[in-house]
Amino acid sequence: MAERIAVIGGDGIGPEVTEQARRIVDRAAQIAQRSLEWEECPYGADYYLEHGVGIEPGRFDDFREHYAAILFGAVGDPRVPDMAHGRELLLGARFQLDLYINLRPIKLLDPRLCPLKDKGVDDVDFVIFRENTEGGYVGVGGAVRPGTIHEVAQQTFVYTRRGVERIIRSAFEFAQRDGRKSVCMTDKANAMRQGHELWQRTFREVASEYPKIESFHLYVDVAAMELVRCPERFDVIVTENLFGDILSDLGASLQGGLGTAASGNIHPGRCSLFEPVHGSAPDLVGTGRANPMAAIMSGAILLDHLGMSGAARTVEQAVIDQLASGEVTPDLGGNLNCVQVGDQILARLG
């Protein structure tokens, strides 16, 4: 039976890059003798301006029950300056589908892309497991006397034992499955005692169940320095929501910028969402200059999620070979357009 995938291109270059990812994932799945059924969804700024909502009520329940995955482009349009539709779509998906793993593979696909001196593809190859449903992003807090000099604003970080444990366990399970040597947990327990004590204790307990995997801890400020000084120290990093958000973008720079940075918002075994890290790049719309590689690499994570790891590695290798050929979009110094890069990567799949 075909597995159903929802495609939400969104705004700006989202639909262009997603279309390339869609046809490449489809072909890779076909080679793996699996059948995918794609459904284009109209969500984005146009939909929001027409309907007054980012997505119909109940649609996430539909995704959870009837779809294997969502392939997402990007949101962001000057006509919706407060990004209300983007929050409804992306935060809505994270919370309503309980996508508790934000998976960010940080892998340098070509040595020429690395901004660090004397570092190569073997040095930048780690995966960040960012907790995606708790911390400072739960929306708990408020403001008193806003707009006055007596204003008080409060934003609360929320951690639950269940939430912390499941993301740490996912990191160790991945390390074990993927043959990785170590898991690093990073927090700020020296300053944020209450919340991050829970992270420390839970990390020690879960780590003890995986004696073959080295476990270590770094405060997040040290982790940021070490990522730049010595990225080869890291195999798997697990951390809370805000720190994961920041470190993942640092990681995107280490891997050569937005051109190839991919992500998965995942609940294992359930409908999950896959998207490039970049935004809607309004400056590139209609120019053909959008690089589809980050979307295609997000498609590779989608294939992994659906149990097609062979197909995922084939897509990754096709992107690596494409980069090596120098036949790329202008952001990476080439002169191909988005569709031409998609065509060539597709051809590499055989």
**Residues noted as catalytic:** 137, 188, 221, 245, 249
Piece of the chain touching ligand NAD by CB under 6 A; list 20-28, 37-45, 202-210, 273-281: 273-281
- Per-residue x/- mask for ligand NAD, residues 177 to 206, rule CB under 6 A? ------------------------------
241 binds ligand NAD (CB under 6 A): no
Residue from 83, 138, 158, 224 touching ligand NAD (CB under 6 A): that is: 83
Tokens of 129: 């497991």
Judged by CB, which is closer to ligand NAD: 7, or 213? 7
Sort 153 into a burial class: Cβ within 10 Å, 0-12 / 13-18 / 19+: exposed
258 binds ligand NAD (CB under 6 A): yes
Judged by CB, which is closer to ligand NAD: 50, or 283? 283
Piece of the chain touching ligand NAD by CB under 6 A; list 74-82, 97-105, 195-203, 303-311: 74-82
321 binds ligand NAD (CB under 6 A): no
**CA–CA gap between residue 23 and residue 324 (Å, rounded):** 22
Cβ proximity of 279 and 44 under 8 Å: no
17 binds ligand NAD (CB under 6 A): yes
283 binds ligand NAD (CB under 6 A): yes
3-state SS, 205-235, equals HHHCCCCCCEEEEEEHHHHHHHHHHCHHHCC
Tokens of 101: 């793993």
* Single-letter amino acid, residue 83: M
Piece of the chain touching ligand NAD by CB under 6 A; list 71-79, 98-106, 167-175, 309-317: 71-79
Q: Is 328 helix (H, G, I), strand (E, B) or coil?
A: coil
Cβ proximity of 71 and 18 under 8 Å: yes
Torsion, Cα of 278, 284, 285, 291 (10° steps): -50
**CA–CA gap between residue 70 and residue 72 (Å, rounded):** 6
- Smallest distance, Å, CB 79 to ligand NAD? 10
Tokens of 201: 């204790």
262 binds ligand NAD (CB under 6 A): no
* Residues of this chain that bind ligand NAD (CB under 6 A): 13, 17, 74-76, 83, 258-259, 275, 278-284, 290-291, 294, 331
